Amino acid sequence: MTTFFQSVRQGFANRQGGRSNGVNANPNQQRSQNTSPVTGNPSNPSPSSTGAPVSFPSNPGASVEDTLKTGADSLAPEETKWFFKEAYAKLSVKGNFMPLAAKPSYLDLGDWLAHQTVEQYRLITYFIVAVQEVNQNTNTVVCNANECPTMSAGRHYIYTWLNNERKPIPVPACQYIALVQRWIVGKIHDPVAFPTDSPFGRTAPSFETSYPTTIGTDQEGRKPIPAGPTTLNRTLSDLAGHDWVGKSAGFPESFLGDVRTAWRQMFRIYAHLYHAHFINPFWHIHNPNYMDLNSSFCYFVSVGKLFGLIGERDLEPMQELIDIWNSNGSIPTDCANGAFAITQ
C-alpha cells in the first residue's frame, strides 16, 4: 500500500494538464460531466430490468437514504465500464478470500462481525485517502465538490443524506464519504456499540473455584448423582429470553443493524470509487494498482454475501463485476450463495 500511495503522489507531480474521472472508450480521455437529474419515483422498476432508475428507502435506524435520480439524460444506457470487463477484473492475490471470510469455530459470531467491520473499514480507508490526495496541477483533491457534486455510482445511482429533519438531500461525494467515515468511526469507538471488554467484566468468577465441589456428588463427595427428570416443555432459547447476534459476547441488540448499515455505506463508497475514480487515480496514475482495489472490494463482497450483511438490491451498481468474480471463483460458491447468511 505504501508503494501505491507513493505512485499516486508522484503521478500527480509528473502529470500535465487536467485529469480524467470517468470511464470512456479510451482510458486517456476525460469523461463528460453528468447532468443534474431530479428525484425518481419510488415505485419505478429496477434499472437492471428497464434501464430506468428507482428509489428505495434505507433500513430502519440507518442514517442515510438511497435516492436514485432520473432525467432525460440518465435514462440513456451508459457505456460499458472498463471495470465491468473481465480483463480489468483481475485481483492482486491468488485464490479466493474464503479463508479470511469464514468464522473460526471458536469465535462468537458477534466478535467475528465486529472484527470484519473494523478490518473492512481499515482497508477501504486506503482507497479513500487516494482520492483525497491533492493534484498539484489543479491544487484540488481528486474527489471534490466540482468534479463529484453528488454521491453517485454512474448515472443511475445517486445517494442522498438525511438531514436533521430526516429529509434526503444531495451532498457532494467528498462530504458524503466524510459523513460515513465519521459515523463508522464513532460506532467502532463506542464501547456500547462495539464493546471490547468481556460481558462478565475483567474479574469474572472462575467456575472451577467459585462453587462447592460437593454439588452433584454423594455425601462423601465421590460419585456423581444423576439429575432428575425434567418437565420443561420450552426450548433453551425461550428460557434464556430474547436472543440476538452478539448477545453472549456483550454486544447490544442494535449491533447487527449497525454492522449492516456500515456495510451498506462502505459499499456505496466502493461503488463511487469505481464509477467516478477507476481511471483516476487507480488506473491512470499507476495501472497495476486497480487490482488492489479489486482485491479489497472482492474480499468485502465475499464477507458481506457470506453473512448476509448487504442485500442484492444494494449490490446492483457493481453487479456486473460481482458476476465475473462469481463465475471465475474469486467469490467462492458458499459466499455467493450466502451459506451463513443471518436471517434476523
The packing angle between helices 2-14 and 109-131, to 10°, is 20
Whole-number pLDDT of residue 189: 93
Per-residue pLDDT tens over the stretch 323-334: 999 999 999 999
What is the H or E stretch that residue 239 is in? Answer: helix 236-240
HSE-up of 312 (CA within 13 Å, CB side)? 8
DSSP tally for the chain: helices H, then strands E: 10, 8
d(CA 72, CA 113): 42
198-225 pLDDT tens trace:
655 433 333 333 434 444 444 555 555 4
Scanning 26-149, the segments in alpha helix (DSSP H) are 47-50, 98-101, 109-131
What are the backbone angles phi and psi of residue 179, rounded to the nearest 5°? -65, -40
Q: What is the pLDDT of residue 336?
A: 94
How would you class 44 by CB atoms within 10 Å of its CB: exposed for 0-12, middle for 13-18, buried for 19 or more? middle
Describe the chain by its helix, strand, coil percentages, rounded to 5: 40, 5, 55
Query: What is the structure's pLDDT at 111?
Result: 94
pLDDT for the residue numbered 232: 53
Q: Give average pLDDT by consecutive 10-residue segment, the chain, 344 residues.
A: 41 37 36 28 30 33 41 56 89 91 93 95 94 84 93 93 90 95 94 76 38 44 52 52 85 94 97 91 71 94 96 95 95 93 86
User: How high is the pLDDT of residue 286?
Assistant: 56
Please, what sign has the CA dihedral across residues 56, 57, 59, 65? positive
Q: How many angstroms separate the Cα of 113 from the Cα of each of 125, 181, 194, 200, 319?
A: 18, 18, 10, 20, 23
Residue 212: other Cβ atoms inside 10 A: 8
